[in-house]
Amino acid sequence: MCIDYWELNKVTVKNRYPLPRIDDLFDHLQGASWFSKIDLRSRYHQMWVRDDDVQKTAFRTYYGHYEFVVMPFGLTNAPAAFMDLMNRVCRPMLDRSVIVFIDDILLYSKTEEQHEEHLREVLETLRRERLFAKFSKCEFWLREVQFLGHLVNQRGILVDPAKIEAVMQWEVPRSPSEIRSFLGLVGYYRRFIQDFSKIAVPLTRLTKKSVVFCWGPEQQTTFEMLRQRLCEASILTLPEGVDDFVVYYYASIIGMGAVLMQWGHVIAYASRQLKHHEANYPTHDLELGAVVFALKIWRHYLYAVRCTIYTNHKSLRYLMDQPNLNIRQRRWLDVVKDYDCEILYHPGKSNVVADALSRKAVAAPIRDICLRMTVVTPLLEKNREAQVEGLKEERQKCERIVCRVASFDYASRGLSTLHGRVWVPYWGGLRQVLMDEAHKSRFSIHPGATKMYRDLRPNYWWPSMKRDVVWYVERCLTCRKVKAEHQRPHDKMQPLDIPVWKWEDITMDFPTKLPRTARGVDSIWVIVDRLTKNAHFIPIQEIISAEKLAEIFMREVVARHGEPVSVVSVTT
């Protein structure tokens, strides 16, 4: 059972316990050839909730009121708390023979004898701490294991075949959110895909808010290419020691990327697209930016170790010795100086990896498709029939075109026009149909009266056309519900001062148009004291002189309460 603890999570102080990076976990598996995987039963339910906090987990069902005494699912701090527990339980073996990611425990060993010892140690620890595993999900004595979406064996790590099958069966995205879901899954394995960010440019472009979603041949080619690249992903070698790390990189107007290698084997790929402002950087700034990108993303491999960076941009070798550098270059050089790296120049022909990365074409050629179609609308034929009826002598007065018939022209389709604009007669109800089409069809967005009139005016005409358009828009129910009133704003509202004595400050109003009484009274003069809220309701006629109002005011208000200091009237 999972309860919605949204409101509780909002007021919970977040536990910032760090979860391990998945790449760091895999680095510990180098050289291992025996594996076992243990999955804990019910995960969070094996942690007790503190007695003072049990009441915070309460929930109600039609069976009654319940509270969790163990950690429920759905709490914001549950993953961090459980990760902290597992790290404390497995601390003596952590990163030596065991790696832990929340409730997944992976044992690894180089020999069969070591694995037997490690397995016994872990199982005894779990029994001592009273942590229970689900036997049906546990696997022991494996030479190849699936862990965190990857396949791990003695040679290195691969993409999980189940994930590859899911990607191959993925349907073509039909919205930006579906593209994000696809890129999220494929991007999880971006370390296996060379030039991932560069290839994905046509897809990521469609996820921007300012871009209209339009799936074309370029996007389809990119979609198929990413699926194919994931299927063909090679085995990535796990790093062995800290020697002979080599970085090849590339930078272009599309993006930047790099390859990390050791002893001639690929450790990982990395790439990203350029930000909008980075597209304006000069070439040497882009090259230096790519170096900084590679050093930062593989900092856990390259920091405090000797590494070599190969470039096909010769001037980058001498950048360290340049006296005149801009602020950006100086900032990036400070990052590079933190690493013990040597930048070597290889010409394009010799630097095969970098040259291939920078020159590889990822975009498919644009294909032009010529389409031809004929659009037929029944509106023209109906309008022609309506014009025949409207031009009859007995209907011209009703159509209000008596003085304009002589100015009518006749188009090639037999339609009557006035100065090139098709006349739409009143007969047949075509004006209503035309305004419906211009205002609330699938191709319109409920434009205002001015916009709608400007759209219709170049092609159509009828008497009082603008007035009819205004009348139509004012009575559109959708517009009245959704659109704001574009009226002249009221004056700035200012609070009135609090009165200091009764009947010194009063307000008055005149509700009118009431049902007339036998004495001819159809209005009420309302006078209210702003301090005590006492009121006078004086019946009057709507048509009354100022002298008569003054006489009533003196008799009903001044004679009883004295002269007021201020009068506020809400009637303009």
Domain boundary (143, 171, 198) is at 143
Query: What domain range includes position 556?
Result: 505-569
Name the residue type at position 390: G
Q: Is 127 in the same domain as 166?
A: no
Q: Is 250 in the same domain as 213?
A: no
pLDDT exceeds 80 at position 570: no
pLDDT exceeds 70 at position 402: no
Residue 371 pLDDT level (bands cut at 50, 70, 90): low
Q: What is the CA radius of gyration of the chain?
A: 40
pLDDT, tens only, 512-539: 888 888 888 999 999 999 999 999 999 9
Q: b/e map of 524-548 (b: 16 or more CB within 10 Å)?
A: ebebbbbeeeeebebebeeeeeeee
pLDDT exceeds 90 at position 120: yes
Q: Is 79 in the same domain as 169?
A: no
Q: Is 222 in the same domain as 331?
A: no
Q: Does residue 70 sit within a domain? A: yes
pTM of the model: 0.47
Q: Does residue 238 sit within a domain? A: no
DSSP letter at 447? -
Q: What is the mean pLDDT of the chain?
A: 82
CA distances from 308 to 129, 137, 347 (A): 47, 44, 16
Q: Based on the structure, what is the number of domains in the chain?
A: 5
CA distances from 512 to 336, 521, 540 (A): 82, 10, 9
Q: Does residue 493 sit within a domain? A: no
Q: Does residue 224 sit within a domain? A: yes
Residue 507, pLDDT score: 93
Residue 564 pLDDT level (bands cut at 50, 70, 90): very high
Q: Is 224 in the same domain as 258?
A: no
Q: Does residue 85 sit within a domain? A: yes
Q: Is 343 in the same domain as 256?
A: yes
